[in-house]
Amino acid sequence: MKARYLILLSMAVSCAASAMAPTLTTRGALKAVSPIAADALAKVEARRHIHFSDAEIEAELHSAEYRKAYESALHEFCGKPENAQVLACLPSGPFPPPVHS
């Protein structure tokens, strides 16, 4: 019974903490999930001399220019010896290659 109370209490505290946490922007979420993807987006922005709004980022992630920038950023990242064992840099990778339509 005490353990159940502690679990419920910890869930309530966790929910309260998440409610108070600031909402992550699309750019912030991209940086948190994949710094390589965020770096590729920054390179596209620098090349075009623009800054994408959060609303524009999702569409840009599907562009051919972004895919090239991502491949380049991934190649650069994986070319560093200290990143050789990072899952994204392993020959088979963590997932099958994406299907581009």
pLDDT at res. 19: 57
Distances (CA, A) of 2 to 5, 15, 52, 69: 5, 20, 51, 54
Q: Are 52 and 41 in contact (CB under 8 A)?
A: yes
How far is Cα of residue 25 from the mean position of the Cα atoms in its chain?
Answer: 12
State pLDDT tens for residues 24-82. Answer: 899 999 999 899 999 999 999 999 999 999 989 989 999 999 999 999 999 999 999 99
User: 65 CB contacts (<8 Å, ≥6 apart)?
Assistant: 44, 47
Distance CA 85, CA 83 (A): 6
More confident residue, 44 or 22: 44
